[in-house]
Amino acid sequence: MRVCVIGTGIMGKNHARVYHEMDCVKLVGIADPDRKRGKEIAEMYGCCYYGNHIEMLEKEKPDAVSVCVPTSLHYAVGMDVIKSGVNLLIEKPIADNVQKAEELVKLADEKGVCLSVGHIERFNPAVQYLKRLIDRGKLGKITSILARRVGIMPPRIKDANVVIDIAVHDIDVFGYLLGKEPEKIYASGGKALVNDREDYADIFLKYNGTNGLIEVNWITPVKIRMLNVTGTKGYVQLNYITQELTLYESVYERKFDEFGDFVVNFGEPKKKVVEVKKDEPLRLELSNFIESIKDGKDPMVTGDDGIRVLKIAAEIMKVCG
């Protein structure tokens, strides 16, 4: 299968690397208006460089393309790829507003091309393991999920705020783990170190019996990517970066005390450091994308998934005063 990459920023470079390492595809083209950077990546992985992505689509006729351009360009470039009848994976978020996202998905459906969105944390092996624990009822009823995604502002991000750029990861993961969308959204955030867009936000999502809390910022001087899940049968700590997952199984008994009052007595929890088979989430994501094209099946993260996440992010920005 012939594949191309449009955009050679940090993510685009990584997409090119992973495609180059995959046995089932051949990386045939790189497109980026930055000639120096684009040619460097193309030469590194032995493919052709193009300054214009439309020219690349016409000449290389790829089966699949990764769109790794800045968020503000997702719509225009994505539309070009879809109109060419080429399957595509668009880096998250799918677009910079909901209307554009819906137009992309609609056209992809009409053209019969596969459209996936790069919500990469779904492919994190630790998240996959946690999903299985929740689905098997190992944690009981989930009462709360807490995510912290903080660190310094990435210099490459010029056209998106902290909610659109990084909170979307945890919004997607929450929906994936719980299998539902929030019924109520509360948020507060602002501009602390920059003047043109929000660089911090605290988000509270209510999922019909489960509370979801997300802290995101580009202010904290250390990079933290953590997820904590509390249920009636246990508690999990997950580190997105190291793919470490620690499970604490609750030990308690319900009884009545001498006054006839109902009490719950907790014992020492059973701690288990779960052996997660570590792997690169991007490799798993791109493998799923290619396999979905070959098999004619929906990818794990569809265009509709991308729209749902973007709608929630947009609502968060409305209330993030």
For every residue of 260-290, DSSP letters joined together read S-EEEEE---EEEEE------HHHHHHHHHH
Which structure tokens are listed for 80?
């070009």
Which structure tokens are listed for 2?
């012939």
Q: Look at residue 35 and tell me whether its pLDDT is greater than 60.
A: yes
Summarised one tens digit per residue, pLDDT across range 117-135 is 999 999 999 999 999 999 9
Domains along the chain with CATH numbers = 2-120+283-301 (3.40.50.720), 122-279+310-319 (3.30.360.10)
Which structure tokens are listed for 62?
């790829």
Name every residue whose Cβ is closer than 8 Å to that of residue 226 and which is 6 or more positions away in sequence. Answer: 147, 148, 237, 238, 239, 240
Summarised one tens digit per residue, pLDDT across range 224-260 is 999 999 999 999 999 999 999 999 987 766 555 555 5
Would you state the pLDDT for residue 221?
Answer: 96
Instruction: Please provide the average confidence, as pLDDT, over all residues in the chain.
Output: 94
Would you state the pLDDT for residue 321?
Answer: 63
| Ranges 56-65, 179-188, 248-257: which has the least confidence | 248-257
Would you state the pLDDT for residue 268?
Answer: 73
Would you state the pLDDT for residue 269?
Answer: 74
Would you state the pLDDT for residue 154?
Answer: 80
Q: Look at residue 320 and tell me whether its pLDDT is greater than 90.
A: no
For every residue of 38-74, DSSP letters joined together read HHHHHHHTT-EEES-HHHHHHHH--SEEEE-S-GGGH
Would you state the pLDDT for residue 164?
Answer: 93
| Ranges 19-23, 204-208, 213-217, 252-256: which has the least confidence | 252-256
Q: Look at residue 147 and tell me whether its pLDDT is greater than 80.
A: yes
Summarised one tens digit per residue, pLDDT across range 271-316 is 999 999 999 999 999 999 999 999 999 999 999 999 999 999 999 9
Closest by Cα among 287, 246, 291 to 270: 246
Q: Average the pLDDT over 189-217 and give the result.
A: 94
Strand partners, 27: 3
pTM over cut 0.85: yes
Would you state the pLDDT for residue 194?
Answer: 85
Q: Average the pLDDT over 165-177 and give the result.
A: 97
The answer to whether 264 and 254 are in contact (CB under 8 A) is yes
Percent of the chain with pLDDT over 70: 94
Q: Look at residue 182 and tell me whether its pLDDT is greater than 90.
A: yes
